[in-house]
């Protein structure tokens, strides 16, 4: 029972991660694939942040009268990961827009067909 209570955050993360992975593998629409990738990314953020939480601790800002803080290291990593994630998503979506202009479609199989038929 302790295992269940102690680990449920990991299982939520794994569920979200697998949902994102499924969208990336199974969907043919390129924009949906990028959405799946973002779901995956958000699940990794939740993993790091939930691992950094300490019971009874507060936000890692030094204040009077508080002695126990949550771990600031994961926060640092995830902070920049979020902004970098949005920048790379923007780059990926720019690529999708250009692919659409070149192939007139954002479906994976239609693009493969156009590439292979020469």
What is the footprint of another protein within residues 36-95 (CB under 8 A)? 38-39, 42, 45-46, 49-63, 68-76, 78-80, 82-84, 86-91, 93-95
By C-beta, is 2 or 117 nearer to another protein? 2
Calculate helix-pair angle for 108-116, 72-103, nearest 10 degrees: 50
Count other C-beta atoms under 10 Å from residue 35's C-beta.
16
Please state the closest distance from residue 95 (CB atom) to another protein, in A.
Answer: 6
By C-beta, is 102 or 116 nearer to another protein? 102
Please state the closest distance from residue 66 (CB atom) to another protein, in A.
Answer: 11
68: left (phi over 0), alpha (psi -120 to 50) or beta: beta
From CA 107, how far away is CA 27, in angstroms rounded? 9
Comparing CA positions, the residue from 56, 90, 83 lying closest to residue 70 is 56
By C-beta, is 61 or 115 nearer to another protein? 61
Q: Identify the residue whose tokens are 């939930």.
A: 50
By C-beta, is 3 or 116 nearer to another protein? 3
Please report whether residue 116 would count as binding another protein according to CB under 8 A: no
**6-35: contacts with another protein (CB under 8 A):** 6-11, 14-15, 17-18, 21-22, 25-26, 28-29, 31-32, 35
The torsion angles phi and psi of 64, rounded to 5 degrees, stand at: -70, 140
């Amino acid at each position: 029972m302790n295992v269940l209570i102690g680990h449920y955050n990991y299982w939520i993360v794994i569920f979200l991660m697998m949902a994102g992975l499924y969208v990336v593998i199974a969907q043919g629409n390129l924009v949906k694939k990028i959405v799946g990738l973002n779901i995956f990314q958000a699940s990794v953020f939740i993993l790091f942040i939930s691992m950094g939480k300490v019971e009874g601790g507060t936000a890692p800002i030094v204040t009077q009268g508080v002695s126990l803080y949550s771990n600031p290291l994961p926060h640092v990593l995830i902070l920049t990961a979020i902004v970098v994630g949005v920048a790379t998503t923007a780059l990926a979506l720019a690529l999708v827009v250009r692919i659409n202009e070149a192939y007139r479609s954002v479906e994976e199989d239609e693009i493969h067909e156009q590439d292979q038929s020469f």
